[in-house]
A and B are shown apart, each in its own frame.
Chain A
């Protein structure tokens, strides 16, 4: 991290870290590092600026030479890779703490600068202070009597905005007091100070040297610092001008050894090398009494190197580059931006025990299961602690080893040593296994796993599933849970995480399992429902199907129902009765289908209406919501799984396909359609004629042209809707395309009309297509042509085929919508990130208020009635139902 901020960690030192005694014997056997236990908890972090004294105190080495390694390739003492700064080579031991690679966190060093250097990140504050402070006595340019009042005023400014505006305000206060030219304390006249960017301060065209700056800053009394909002305990202004510089530990700038055996140093090391080299030269020149100019030049060069060490993206400076020409990545670049330390490594982390592959559907899995390929199951493990009762059970896994399923990959001794199970170590491991040991066994059916698909936009993007180990190479999931993940199977990949501790497993099971996420916290309805074929199937079944009892039993058996007592004892059984077999006896429900007819479920029997998307689909209708409320989450998910499979099984029996003949229309219908389109075109031509003859009546507030466009659009839209209505009238309601449209499984009437009759007007930004050549859209039209065809009206249907120009217009709007999606995604992503960042620490307190992390109240009552949306029914408490059930 940046050196300028000293980060003192106040730790609760209740327990001392228990270091496991190094056992020599164990060391040889050990394959992986020992487990680390957290004994401390950071309570707070204090930020402040490092004082020169502090820099020296925390340093474990003084760096005096730019050399890195000696002839043998061993780090030079007092060089930048000094092993007192930590070790990055295996086999070496740190001279400061005695630990080895990976154990030693690294230690700071320091260099003594030959001349003071301005820290680039503090330039603005230095300028601010210099301008508001007397050049002679170092007091703020505010008379003693007014300092208190000024402080109060500034405190208020800071509270309302931030510390930066406060500092700007200081200047304007001084300006208003007219003390800018003369110090009210010592009466010395003040000069105008300007900043010659990036780091040179000028007073009356004369340069103020950093030495002078530092001297002036030193003179400011602590009491006056408060005016600037500086905390004298955290920072003295002169510390912003460096006299010593900390050298970051080598562990944060490790060198990499290339294949050729050549060493490649980190960017920071390069930069530090420059600094040390120039610093040494500056020392030598000063000591040798070199001419002022040479010293000044070196001084400036040192300033440049130190500036670019902290920030290589300063506006007025050329960035320091590699020999290859690409700019060096120095401290600021390391921290900031998405790929920087904060967002990449601190706010986001990587995990072990996870897997990722392509997903594929398997409706035979339960909704809360995930099919895991056996290859993955043998890599991912679950730690299980050995005790008297499961010892025999776990021994079997160890016996199987890591190559035979179900086996185990590691055993962990009570002291935390991890041991891999191989053919050689198997026997020994079996022998030593005893209570207290942990076996990392292969993933097995019923284990909990967290399943996730990016982008993880809501909490249903990460749900807990039960593992089902299956052959194959893809992760399998029930297609009904695609919706919350927003997944499809065109090559989507998903991630699987295996919780490793008992707490994590418990949380995953209780809070994250699929059935607990059934109700969306966004709108209080089911997010998981039937989709596509499952809806079509149930629609066909419950609408007008009749099957024999044997068929019904076979159908129900295929979805895993064994109790057929609900089926009426008669020869022919209606689809509604089959569906009713899934519904509990005491369930009552009334709802609406998509076409407005009533759905009635009385005492567990579907007596009226049929099933479609309104009742079975996600995010709509209350059937699923009511079942969930009444019978609980586990029943709801089971019910949904059965209904889903029922739909598919029905389709498997009746057969379901989309045919070209679905879009066939009778001869007179086709004539009607072309007639409608012809009339529309005529009307448009009339309008155009009127327009050319200036006889068109304009709408208020519109130009003649706009009026024409609006009228034409109206005519054409009407025509298209008429053709749509004609198609709807003539298309067979039993065709599978219509079935899908009517049940809401996929597609709508418009899609059918576009296939069968007429695609219609292609619109961009709510207008007909206007872009293209001068006065015309495409070169195949005449100039000034305003006819429907030349402005993007497609009168053919997809089945008859499009004219070349029509196809082109379709491509225009297609491309436009692609652009739209491509531009929208990052925009909405950024909005989401901002929202999440601003609101992530708002939580409900025990007193029912909503507060932020500073305990400021944001809402006194959540949503004005405290209702949790995910526990509500579409955002409300269903009063009518409560009254009905208890009346």
Chain B
């Protein structure tokens, strides 16, 4: 049995082979198995892409056509979470543009064993959330005459989040300019400027700066939400910081992910980014109730990533990499491309589609690809004459 499969191991792609192994009943005779595999092989070969097939355009059509049916609905409630996520066409555009910043960064954090079962889930979630100083302060007052900034502290909240005076003092102290003395007494934090000359707007600036001082948690994570998914608990966050998150002890670094493709490319590499693009685009298309095969999305993701960097489908990204001057010119900013081509003395070898359309010549895809080798009657005669 197993050696029958072995014969075909190299022929089939992995997923089909696995399917065959799983679905052929174990008690099937060897000859029968061989026959099934042979038939499957035949069908597989028939279902393969043919050489010259214009797969790129088919992929573009397959994503572009349902694009018109997608809703512009920017905001979408993801289940009970009530967290806003960009979905629909804007999200697809955002991904394919290759924008450095996602408009609504989001993370899905998977946890390691005891935590994933729900242990201290709230506490873990809160410890991830970034706490800024303004969140633990209830009010600020500035005393101009003495050059003093006073902040009222929300003791209860501090206790909740787990911020002690020591942490507070250290963090604020690290971020402040020299020339301030810090004192925490009771419910207020008092900052005193040593030089009384400090101007009012300087004080005001200092106050604004204190507000944004990072006290605790992971940077850029503005909201956390523990959610039960299947058997385990995960944490969904608004804001994203993959690099720091993966360092945390509680986090399962093999499954935790973000929707920011550039972050993934930076932290995990280009292959991971490719997969992230596929996942993100597929997620949007699926959520709109549309049916698009992954293969098309894969091809788009691959074109974006072949150069080793994530490049958007824009005139600065993928299109600028084209080898043909006319193909680039026919997309956007034609003049610029023509001028630059003339300065470099570029040669257009006319081996892609648009250039040949421009020149009324057969395009080198599909049926335009193969040439016909034949000797014409007149040529035959000539040949005969020459040989004589």
Residues of A that sit less than 8 Å from B by CB: 2, 4-6, 38, 41-49, 121-122, 125, 162-164, 229-231, 233-235, 311, 332, 335-336, 340, 342-343, 346-347, 349, 455, 457-459, 507, 511, 521-525, 619, 699, 701-702, 710, 765-766, 820, 823-825, 827-829, 831-846, 848, 850, 852-854, 856-859, 861-872, 875, 877, 879-880, 882-883, 885-887
Contact = CB atoms under 8 A, between A and B. Distances in A.
Given A831-B93, A836-B64, A882-B36, A162 B340 contact: yes
Interface stretch (B19-27, B180-188, B209-217, B251-259): B19-27
Range, interface on chain B: 35 or more
Given A829-B68, A833-B64, 19 more contacts: A42-B359, A46-B345, A230-B343, A342-B329, A347-B358, A521-B62, A522-B66, A832-B60, A832-B63, A836-B57, A838-B60, A839-B57, A841-B322, A841-B365, A842-B59, A843-B365, A869-B296, A882-B39, A886-B35
5 contacts: A832-B65, A839-B59, A839-B299, A857-B306, A862-B55
Contacts of B296: 522, 869
Interface in B328-382: 329-331, 333-335, 338-355, 357-361, 364-367, 369
Given A5-B341, A836-B61, A880 B348 contact: no
Nearest to A824: B72
Contact of B340 (A45, A164, A332, A850): A164
Contacts of B294: 863, 875
A831 B295 contact: no
Contacts of A765: 74-75
Given A163-B340, A823-B72, A457 B64 contact: yes
A522 B314 CA distance: 23
B293 A875 contact: yes
Contacts of B89: 824, 827-828, 831
Nearest to B314: A834
B71 interface: yes
B330 to A, nearest CB: 5
B342 A710 contact: no
Contacts of B109: none
Contact of B43 (A766, A838, A882): A882
B279 interface: no
Nearest to B52: A843
Contact of A234 (B324, B345, B359): B345
Given A347-B357, A701-B223, A858-B299, A865 B342 contact: no
B272 interface: no
B61 A820 contact: no
B36 A887 contact: yes
B261 interface: no
A723 to B, nearest CB: 22
Contacts of A882: 36, 39-40, 43
A824 B298 contact: no
A525 B293 CA distance: 11
Contacts of B23: 879-880, 883
Nearest to A827: B89
Contacts of B76: 766
Interface string B69-90: 0111111110000100000010
Nearest to A865: B13
Contacts of A831: 64, 67, 89, 92-93, 96
A834 B223 CA distance: 35
Contacts of A699: 82
Contacts of B2: none
B342 A4 contact: yes
B60 A836 contact: yes
A281 B296 CA distance: 63
B18 to A, nearest CB: 10
Nearest to B315: A834
Contacts of B359: 42
Nearest to A841: B352
A678 B44 CA distance: 61
A511 B64 CA distance: 22
B47 interface: yes
- What 7 A-B pairs have minimum CB-CB distances, sorted nearest first? A234-B345, A842-B56, A832-B64, A863-B295, A853-B352, A839-B56, A231-B345
B296 to A, nearest CB: 7
B313 A879 contact: no
Contacts of A342: 329-330, 334, 358
Nearest to B82: A710
A687 B330 CA distance: 60
A885 B54 CA distance: 33
Given A43-B350, A343-B330, A828-B68, A859 B302 contact: yes
Interface of B: 13-16, 19-20, 23-25, 28, 32, 35-36, 39-40, 43-44, 46-68, 70-77, 82, 89, 92-93, 96, 223, 225, 291-296, 298-300, 302-303, 306, 313-314, 318-320, 322-327, 329-331, 333-335, 338-355, 357-361, 364-367, 369
B319 A838 contact: yes
B48 A887 contact: no
Contacts of A701: 223, 225
Nearest to A45: B348
Contacts of A47: 325, 338, 341-342, 344-348
A834 B131 CA distance: 41
Contact of A835 (B14, B49, B63, B298): B63
Contacts of A868: 47-50, 53
B15 A840 contact: no
A220 to B, nearest CB: 14
Nearest to A832: B64
Most-contacted residue by chain A among B46, B303, B335, B357 (CB, 10 A)? B335
Contacts of A41: 361
A715 to B, nearest CB: 16
Given A2-B338, A164-B340, A230-B344, A619 B291 contact: yes
A817 to B, nearest CB: 9
B365 to A, nearest CB: 5
B36 A886 contact: yes
B21 to A, nearest CB: 10
B64 A828 contact: yes
A48 B331 CA distance: 21
A11 B303 CA distance: 33
A740 to B, nearest CB: 20
Nearest to B336: A164
Nearest to A885: B39
Contacts of A887: 25, 28, 32, 36
A346 B330 contact: yes
B306 A856 contact: yes
A712 to B, nearest CB: 14
A464 B361 CA distance: 22
Contacts of B324: 853
A522 B60 contact: no
A43 B355 CA distance: 11
A525 B196 CA distance: 78
A843 B306 contact: no
Contacts of B353: 840-841, 853
Nearest to B305: A858
Contacts of A836: 57, 60-61, 64
B70 A824 contact: yes
A864 B299 CA distance: 10
Given A347-B330, A523-B293, A861 B344 contact: no
B326 A459 contact: no
B182 to A, nearest CB: 30
A820 B36 CA distance: 52
A612 to B, nearest CB: 18
Contact of A858 (B46, B71, B306): B306
Nearest to B351: A853
A861 B189 CA distance: 64
B61 A235 contact: no
A710 B77 CA distance: 11
Nearest to B325: A47
Contact of B350 (A42, A231, A619): A42
B49 A867 contact: yes
